[in-house]
Chain A
């Protein structure tokens, strides 16, 4: 069973809705136990509700180093292992660079890039000892193409790709793979704020002429998390309906 994740434990950040939720649900469908995080207690509760006995929701601010350490300790105490880490939590603070404030830059870099560094560092020791692990970082098509008004977000998302390639080279010999999944325009709360006009102009650049579904991103994550992808590392899988073929 190449795609079977029975007996594996996964951590998915930003799992209360959108792509993160779809990832958590599909990892469970493949057999994994999933810990999903959200920033709020109510978000964590809703994760616990949809996961049921297949995992748990956990409220944590991924930029809070102490809180992240506590989370990893709690997972270790409850499950004794962590096989799969999916860094999905992300935020946007869009602004043209001329007007971008330091705090808009810092907030996006802290959540979308620095938190990933810290989370990876936190899970590596256990994975290295067991000579097994899967780290999947959710990047974005705009990390490759750029996007006006999102210099901070694009910098962080492009940063994840270089980060992942470096880490992949450091720990490949320990049986740990590090990859990115890079979604295009996906039907989530993050893209719901787009107007119809904006959507139409975006569709012009998407050969499939539609938004992607969160499940279509999750499928790529499950592949990378599975034994089937043991020989894939440092790679970025683009899931964007053909909008950027790179």
Chain B
């Protein structure tokens, strides 16, 4: 079983079409990884599906970097 961090990174790589080495913890989806607002919505949708959770809008807005995505899932995962 992969760790949460690996699974989150895999989704980011797939959704945004970026390379693994680009997905650094501090990388911002919009500023560093070329995501537009719809990409980030899709990314949140993909995280919701992977981790079978629902991310409220006000939380989703705070997920702007790789680390913030990992942190959110870590704190809210049932796994």
Identify the A interface with B (CB < 8 A).
125, 128, 170-171, 173-174
Instruction: With both chains docked as a complex, state the minimum distance between the C-beta of B39 and any C-beta of chain A, in angstroms.
Output: 9
- Prevailing SS type, chain A contact patch: helix
Taking a contact as CB atoms under 8 Å apart, the answer to whether B45 and A173 are in contact is: no
CA distance A40 to B45 in the complex (A): 34
Binding site for A on B (CB under 8 A): 38, 42, 45
In the assembled complex, the Cα of A244 lies from the Cα of B45 at a distance in Å of 42
In the bound complex, residues from chain A placing their C-beta under 8 Å from that of B42 are 128
The prevalent SS among residues of B at the interface is helix
Measured in the bound complex, the distance between the Cα atoms of B41 and A170 in whole Å is 11
Q: Decide if A125 touches B45 in the complex (CB within 8 Å).
A: yes
- In the assembled complex, the Cα of A148 lies from the Cα of B41 at a distance in Å of 42
Tell me whether B38 and A174 are in contact (CB under 8 A).
yes
Contacts of A173 in B (CB 8 A): 38
Contact of B45 with A171 in the complex, beta carbons under 8 Å:
no
In the complex, chain B residues whose CB is within 8 Å of the CB of A171: 38
How far apart are A148's CB and chain B's nearest CB, in angstroms? 41
Smallest CB-CB separation from B38: which chain A residue?
A: A170
Q: What would 7 A/B residue contacts be, using CB atoms closer than 8 Å?
A: A125-B45, A128-B42, A128-B45, A170-B38, A171-B38, A173-B38, A174-B38
Q: How far is the CA of A125 from the CA of B42 in the complex (A)?
A: 8
**Residues from chain A with Cβ under 8 Å of B45 in the complex:** 125, 128
Give the residues in chain A near B38, CB-CB below 8 Å.
170-171, 173-174
CB closest chain-B residue, reference A128: B42
Q: How far is the CA of A128 from the CA of B43 in the complex (A)?
A: 12
Q: How far is the CA of A125 from the CA of B45 in the complex (A)?
A: 8
Q: Which residue of B lies closest to A173 (CB)?
A: B38
A116 to B59, CA, bound (A): 27
Closest B-chain residue to A125, C-beta based?
Answer: B45
> Smallest Cβ distance from A65 to chain B, in angstroms?
16
C-alpha gap A173/B42 in the complex (Å): 13
Task: Give the 6 A-B CB pairs with smallest separation, nearest first.
Answer: A125-B45, A128-B42, A170-B38, A171-B38, A173-B38, A174-B38
- Name the B residues within 8 Å of A125 (CB-CB): 45
Q: Give min CB distance, A173 to chain B, whole Å.
A: 7
Give Cα distance in the complex from A170 to B40, angstroms.
13
